[in-house]
Chains A and B, each alone.
Chain A
Amino acid sequence: MNPDSYLYLSAILFSLGALGVLIRRDAIVVFMCIELMLNAANLAFVTFSRMHGRLDGQIFAFFTMVVAAAEVVVGLAIIITVFRTRRSASVDDANLLKY
């Protein structure tokens, strides 16, 4: 098995995540699919760091994790606030800014 296979797996997971973002309407599930895309990108980073024999890819994956954690915290807080006021967590219903 060529270690390139990790890159193919990363591509598959990323496109599956993108599919989930487009299909699902529950805001939290959409958010989880975004997390899947971030994780797929992390896998690609680690594979490339192994290819080059340097640790920079792992450092970048580390920072991606940190930023993803911060993003999840704020994003879930926003979803909770929207749910509290509008009683719906569907992304189709958050349409007040629609012309």
Chain B
Amino acid sequence: MSAALLATQSAATHLLAGPVTSTGGGETFLFWVGASISVLGALGLIFSKKAVHSALCLAGVMICLALFYMAQGAVFLGVVQIVVYTGAIMMLFLFVLMLIGIDAPESLTETIRGQRWAAVLVAVLFGAILIGVFAHAKLGPFAGMDQANAAAGGNVPSLAHLLFARYFWAFEVSSAVLITSALGAMVLAHRERVTARRTQKELAADRFKRYSKDPSVIVTPMPNPGVYAQHNAVDTPALLPDGSIAQLSVNATLRAQGEVRGITPLPVPLPHEAADGDGASPAGANGSGRHEEVGA
């Protein structure tokens, strides 16, 4: 049964580690779809007006590349590409864009005249040179990752054998690089506090001291809008126990603009309904401000 399991698994993973000079149908499909998305994403990265859209396009390109890595047999690298590049690096970009708000659209006027067209020309020629080099290079038949991966029983153990034996020094140096860069970022982004940070206790005590001098200072959370009233919108004020409107429950901006919604009175029950039982007063607060037996 384990042989059947292996057969099923290898059948399902037959996309990996392609053959000698041409790949199977699945990988071809993946390549063409992924290549289109990558190139479109790269164009979106360059030509987007908003920086966040560029970041998203780049994240899409990175996910396509991760799929390519997995299709070529580098399973661990593909997953690490998503975790590190898409999940951490692009997230860092997005955070910086959102927090610092570097969002102003660039002006289209050039500082160096004709730079744009010169850049396009140079990039196209450069791309042509690269493609020409690859076309002329003597690239032999593709050996595929089957044997290399099976050398130690899987992609991850084989990578580990190489990483911790032959490239160990580079591994240690790269860890030093990471620590240094983390420290460098902390130093650059640090803001030295000149006064001690006020704690929650101090802020609350301060609020009460100000209240003792000026009774109009609000020390409690303000009432939510629309509580016990008919609607829950932010411009519907809450009602106080005597039926009047609580001014504090609506945002100050809305109050200043006069956009506080009025209250429609509840329908009055018919006389034969009101006569049912003594204590059956109209439920809840009625909005027209009638002051009769509220909360009986």
Q: Contact residues of A with B, CB < 8 Å?
A: 1-9, 11-20, 22-29, 31-33, 35-36, 39, 42-43, 46-47, 49-56, 58-59, 61-63, 65-74, 76-81, 83, 89-90, 92
Contact = CB atoms under 8 A, between A and B. Distances in A.
The SS class assigned to the B binding surface is helix
B225 interface: no
Nearest to B188: A77
The SS class assigned to the A binding surface is helix
Contacts of A20: 42, 45-46
Contacts of B73: 50
B106 A28 contact: no
A73 B45 contact: no
13 contacts: A2-B21, A12-B42, A16-B39, A16-B43, A19-B119, A19-B120, A43-B69, A46-B74, A46-B77, A53-B145, A59-B167, A65-B81, A74-B184
B123 A15 contact: yes
Contacts of A1: 22-23, 27-28, 31-32
A49 B32 CA distance: 21
Sorting the interface of chain B by its residue count into under 10, 10 to 19, 20 to 34 or 35 or more gives 35 or more
A63 to B, nearest CB: 6
Given A19-B120, A35-B58, A62 B80 contact: yes
Interface in B16-53: 17-18, 21-23, 27-28, 31-32, 35, 38-39, 42-43, 45-46, 51
